[in-house]
A and B are shown apart, each in its own frame.
Chain A
Amino acid sequence: MKRSREKIVKWLLIGITVIFLLFMLVLPMVEVIYRALKDGLETYKTALTAKNTLSALRVTLIATVIALTVNTILGIIMAWQVTKFDFKGKNILSTLIDIPFSISPVIAGLAFIMTFGRSGWAKPVIDGINNALGTDIVLVFSVPAVVLATIFVTFPFISREIIPILHAQGRTEEEAAALMGASGMTIFRKVTFPHIKWGLVYGMILCTARAFGEFGAVYAVSKARGKTFTLPLEVDALYMSGTADSITQAFAVSSLLVGMAVIVLILKNIVEYRGKSKKSV
């Protein structure tokens, strides 16, 4: 009796999960691909090679690569100092790292405009730098603005992946290495890095996925289609135009993002698998 009831519960729960995932995730994804290819491969190709799409792809890739690089370096530094040192205000700092998780991205984007925009308090500083260096950096409604917004939204991913690993590992291995006279860099390379390697790669994958798909923060600071739009913004713009063609194009561009997401998911699974099998050695 008891066994069969357990079985019913088991299959019931599995059933609910499967139905939920099917309707909420799988079918919409399939719908995107179906809509994208509905008018034939030719239309699909045209949509993907349109000037605006290529520009959006370029901006997305630039933002992602820079955000990933910056966040990897910053993420390691932040995780390191939060776990390996004791200082006053450490808890506050470690809470601050999480702000992008808890704040709406649109607000983050608007905050950037308020800070660096025409009437923002940091505007004179930027102007000063531009004057001194002879550069022409604009931090709102520009590609650098998109990059900054993307960095902001994605920066906790890497440090949040590494912090628990460093916490669990403790400090004694580093102390042991330091006592033997190893330099900070050697300690990091030989002792710490092997511990965080897979966590770091995992964090980088999550960071990439989020950077590809970010909409809200980027939407706030990017207004020029074909210049500063990213793929998600381009999809939105195409869809909002409302013609039958543009809607198909919107789905075509969306399918690009879906494809990137699938690649990231596969990578993530490979990393998780390798990370696990490595641990059990």
Chain B
Amino acid sequence: MYVEMKGICKKFGNYEAAKNISFDIEKGKLVALLGPSGSGKTTILRILAGLETQDEGDVIIEGKVINDIPASKRGIGFVFQNYALFRYMTVYDNIAFGLKVQKMSKEKVHERVMEMISLIGLCGLEKRYPDQLSGGQRQRVAFARAIAPNPQLLLLDEPFAAIDAKVRKELRSWLKEMIRKVGITSIFVTHDQEEAVEVADDIIIINEGNLEQMGTPSEIYKHPETPFVANFIGTSIVLSDLSGFKGFEEIEKGKKVIVRPEFVEAFKSDNKKFHDLIPAAEEGVIEKIEFRGSYLEVTLKVGDVRLVTNRSLERRSISVGEKMYVLLHRIYVFDEGTAQRYKNSLLKDVDIELM
């Protein structure tokens, strides 16, 4: 393992920012630390960088415990949330800073800086000051500044948070491509699950200082291990009583149940494709239809329960108040901190993956 955190604990006063956090990261991976704000993910990143000191536990890089090595000697590149570009230095001097500190010769510094500037596509802007750049350009400079001294590990704290939504998407793929190109092991912190899923090879989910789950985006999506993860990833509805639903009679009342839109199918009574499934379905009424660009988000009322499903725009049109069959084919049930997938018992013979 390239980067290892072993039993990291950190308290700020009474606030526990990290509770016994342990994980390994392979060389060359791009990993997301994902969690809601205040979950402790930034603290973990800062401990890794040496900007905070853990109360307990070890930080290990390439098999070496680096607890006592100061931030300046760890050789880690760091991109700050607000970029922290040196305001009174030009783009050129910002990128050159880390190289000059290493006492590199002037020619070599120049060569490397120009290489970085062309890598980030900001040729001609090297004499500008950070104030004269757009948010996206600043982020590129911050990235170039962090990787110019050739660090072995790159850490990024909410790298897209300060950028407007439009540019963000473009920058995400840019950054992913850059990191691939440079081939540097990278860890970034984000609170945006979409961002984590899109950019990262692996995701580490942090909540209230606990590591909830680590895995590839699809693993985490398909097999959430904790209620928090199931709720946090994807759009979910939490229910506590499903006893009235066909096929879920054995679920005890009061147990926490999570339903995702993709677990719900709503169809009209004359739908031929789903005709055989009517015995497993409930009757519901459309309460709300919202247009989401490429699909419709449909809220249905089934008894006392509200369920949400996404409907393709290619399907027949529907209207509020219309009666529909609602088929719940899968749910997550949580019991004492573990999550279980549960299939509609009336669909035992149907391969729901094929629906």
Q: Select from chain A the residue with minimum beta-carbon distance to B99.
A: A180
A176 touches B101 (CB 8 A): no
A175 touches B101 (CB 8 A): no
Question: Is B149 positioned at the interface, with any CB of A under 8 Å from its CB?
Answer: yes
- Most A C-beta atoms less than 10 A away, residue of B51, B76, B129: B51
Q: Which segment of A187-195, A208-216, A217-225, A264-272 sits at the interface?
A: A187-195
A182 touches B84 (CB 8 A): no
22 A-B pairs whose Cβ atoms sit less than 8 Å apart in the complex: A172-B80, A172-B81, A172-B84, A173-B84, A173-B86, A175-B51, A176-B80, A177-B86, A177-B97, A178-B71, A179-B78, A180-B101, A180-B145, A181-B72, A181-B73, A181-B101, A182-B72, A182-B101, A183-B72, A194-B87, A194-B88, A281-B129
Q: Which residues in window 58-93 of B have CB below 8 A to A?
A: 71-78, 80-82, 84-89
A179 touches B76 (CB 8 A): yes
Q: Which residues in window 241-262 of B have CB below 8 A to A?
A: none
Residue-wise, chain B 118-154 has the 8 Å CB interface mask toward A (1 for contact) of 0000000000010100000000000001000100000
A179 touches B101 (CB 8 A): no
Interface size of A by Cβ–Cβ distance < 8 Å? 18
Query: Closest CB of chain A to B76's CB: distance in Å?
Result: 7
Query: Which residues of chain A have C-beta atoms less than 8 A from B129's C-beta?
Result: 281
Question: Is B266 positioned at the interface, with any CB of A under 8 Å from its CB?
Answer: no
B78 touches A176 (CB 8 A): yes
Residue-wise, chain A 108-143 has the 8 Å CB interface mask toward B (1 for contact) of 000000000000000000000000000000000000
Query: Closest CB of chain A to B109's CB: distance in Å?
Result: 13
Question: Is A186 positioned at the interface, with any CB of B under 8 Å from its CB?
Answer: yes
Q: Which residues in window 215-254 of B have CB below 8 A to A?
A: none
B98 touches A172 (CB 8 A): no
Question: Is B49 positioned at the interface, with any CB of A under 8 Å from its CB?
Answer: yes
- A190-B97, A281-B131 as given contacts; A181 in contact with B86, CB under 8 Å: no
- A179-B78, A195-B87 as given contacts; A186 in contact with B101, CB under 8 Å: yes
Query: Which residues of chain A have C-beta atoms less than 8 A from B102's C-beta?
Result: 181
B97 touches A180 (CB 8 A): yes
Query: Which residues of chain B have C-beta atoms less than 8 A from A190's C-beta?
Result: 86, 89, 97
A179 touches B51 (CB 8 A): yes
- A181-B73, A181-B102, A182-B72 as given contacts; A173 in contact with B87, CB under 8 Å: yes
Query: Which residues of chain B have C-beta atoms less than 8 A from A173's C-beta?
Result: 84-87
Query: Which residues of chain A have C-beta atoms less than 8 A from B72's C-beta?
Result: 178-183
Q: Which residues in window 96-118 of B have CB below 8 A to A?
A: 97-98, 101-102
Complex formed: what's the CA distance from A139 to B176 in Å? 67
Query: Which residues of chain A have C-beta atoms less than 8 A from B50's C-beta?
Result: 179
Chain B residues engaging chain A, CB cutoff 8 angstroms: 49-51, 71-78, 80-82, 84-89, 97-98, 101-102, 129, 131, 145, 149
B71 touches A179 (CB 8 A): yes
Query: Closest CB of chain B to A165's CB: distance in Å?
Result: 12
Query: Which residues of chain A have C-beta atoms less than 8 A from B145's C-beta?
Result: 176, 180
Q: Select from chain B the residue with minimum beta-carbon distance to A180.
A: B98
Query: Closest CB of chain B to A185's CB: distance in Å?
Result: 12
Query: Closest CB of chain B to A15's CB: distance in Å?
Result: 40
What are the 9 A-B residue pairs with the smallest beta carbon separation, nearest first?
A: A180-B98, A172-B84, A194-B88, A176-B84, A181-B72, A182-B101, A172-B80, A181-B101, A179-B78
Q: Select from chain A the residue with minimum beta-carbon distance to B157.
A: A172
Query: Closest CB of chain A to B222's CB: distance in Å?
Result: 37
B82 touches A181 (CB 8 A): no
Complex formed: what's the CA distance from A180 to B88 in Å? 17
Given contacts A177-B86, A181-B73, A182-B101, 9 further A-B contacts (CB under 8 A): A172-B82, A173-B84, A175-B78, A175-B80, A179-B50, A179-B78, A180-B72, A181-B98, A195-B88
Query: Which residues of chain B have C-beta atoms less than 8 A from A176's C-beta?
Result: 78, 80, 84, 86, 145
Query: Which residues of chain A have C-beta atoms less than 8 A from B81's C-beta?
Result: 172
Query: Which residues of chain A have C-beta atoms less than 8 A from B84's C-beta?
Result: 170, 172-173, 175-176
Query: Closest CB of chain B to A194's CB: distance in Å?
Result: 4
Query: Closest CB of chain A to B267's CB: distance in Å?
Result: 54
Complex formed: what's the CA distance from A195 to B51 in Å? 22
Complex formed: what's the CA distance from A99 to B76 in Å? 43
Complex formed: what's the CA distance from A183 to B86 in Å? 16
- A173-B86, A177-B86 as given contacts; A182 in contact with B80, CB under 8 Å: no
Complex formed: what's the CA distance from A190 to B77 in Å? 19
- Most B C-beta atoms less than 10 A away, residue of A172, A191, A194: A172
Q: Select from chain B the residue with minimum beta-carbon distance to A281.
A: B129
Query: Which residues of chain B have C-beta atoms less than 8 A from A194's C-beta?
Result: 87-88
Query: Which residues of chain B have C-beta atoms less than 8 A from A180's C-beta?
Result: 72, 97-98, 101, 145, 149
- Most B C-beta atoms less than 10 A away, residue of A180, A182, A183: A180
Query: Closest CB of chain B to A83's CB: distance in Å?
Result: 15
B78 touches A182 (CB 8 A): no
- Most A C-beta atoms less than 10 A away, residue of B74, B80, B81: B80
- Most B C-beta atoms less than 10 A away, residue of A176, A182, A191: A176
Query: Which residues of chain B have C-beta atoms less than 8 A from A183's C-beta?
Result: 72
Complex formed: what's the CA distance from A191 to B76 in Å? 19
Query: Closest CB of chain A to B8's CB: distance in Å?
Result: 19
Query: Closest CB of chain A to B9's CB: distance in Å?
Result: 19
Query: Closest CB of chain A to B92's CB: distance in Å?
Result: 14
